[in-house]
Amino acid sequence: MQGKIKISIVMLVFFCGIIEVSAHMPGASPPPKFELEPILVDDGGKIVSIAIEEIGEYHNEITKEMRIKKLKKQGKTDEEIKAIIKKELANATGICTCVVASFRAALLGIKNVWGDEIPKRDDIRIISNLPTPGSCQCFQYITGNAPNVKAMRKGEFHIILPNGTEVKNMSMKNLKKIAMNVNASYYNFIICRRSTGECFTANVKDDVFPEDYFVLRKKVKYGIPEKASKRR
């Protein structure tokens, strides 16, 4: 089957962090529990089951590593770093809004394009408009392109911003900078079968997000969590 299938998805039920703006921030309460079935891929003849929890752990570890490096540059001692990390990431699961949205989009895309088939990992192409670190790491993990994660085969993953600019530098530092001004229009994902060209487009309706969600997100993630929390 050739062509492109398009569908708008209301993903409120699956956005564990969408109302709780600070769900992935230091010291925040753990997000509400939810269940999403794992994504299955054929990785060079081996069937791999990818759960959202392991992607969350992967995202969490990278966040932790980046934070430790920053604290070391600030001259913190090992004991101080250990205490700070323990306090900031005590309840962190790594399953933030962008991870949930991206995982759900990939899950639905694979179901709609491959049906009952298990996709070969190197037959998957994902194009995302969302440049957040969590989303990027989720799609890298699924397509076999995640650094330090072993994969026999690699699919394609690209970040192309809504204005058409492709993001080549996928370091967490660069993504965090680019993602400062994201809004609902960035939550657009295309999942394709490379061998046939068939694609599924998943996007999130604007009304899924509370009116001030992105304003508060920017304040929380980029330096003013106390004031942002008080305004809620």
In the chain, domain spans: 4-18+96-231
Q: 3-state class of 152 per DSSP? A: coil
Residue type, 147: P
Confidence at residue 221, expressed as pLDDT on a 0 to 100 scale: 80
Confidence at residue 123, expressed as pLDDT on a 0 to 100 scale: 98
The half-sphere exposure of 61 on its side-chain side, counting CA atoms within 13 A, is: 12
pLDDT greater than 60 at residue 183:
yes
The per-type count for the chain, helices as H runs and strands as E runs, is 7, 8
Going 124 to 125 to 130 to 133, the CA torsion angle's sign is: positive
Between residues 93 and 151, which one has the greater pLDDT? 151
Confidence at residue 224, expressed as pLDDT on a 0 to 100 scale: 53
pLDDT greater than 50 at residue 31:
no
- Tell me the mean pLDDT in the region 89-95: 84
Q: List the beta bridge partners of residue 130.
A: none
Question: In sequence order, which ranges of the chain are alpha helices (DSSP H)?
Answer: 52-73, 78-88, 97-114, 133-143, 172-178, 213-221, 225-231
How many residues in the chain? 232
pLDDT greater than 80 at residue 2:
no
Separation of first and last alpha carbons in the chain: 48
- Tell me the mean pLDDT in the region 94-100: 90
pLDDT greater than 50 at residue 17:
no
Phi first, then psi: give them for residue 15, nearest 5 degrees: -90, 85
Q: Show the tokens assigned to 224.
A: 């003013």
Residue type, 66: M
The secondary structure element, H or E, covering residue 213 is helix 213-221
Q: List the beta bridge partners of residue 50.
A: 39
Least confident of 21-30, 71-80, 102-111, 148-157: 21-30
The half-sphere exposure of 60 on its side-chain side, counting CA atoms within 13 A, is: 21
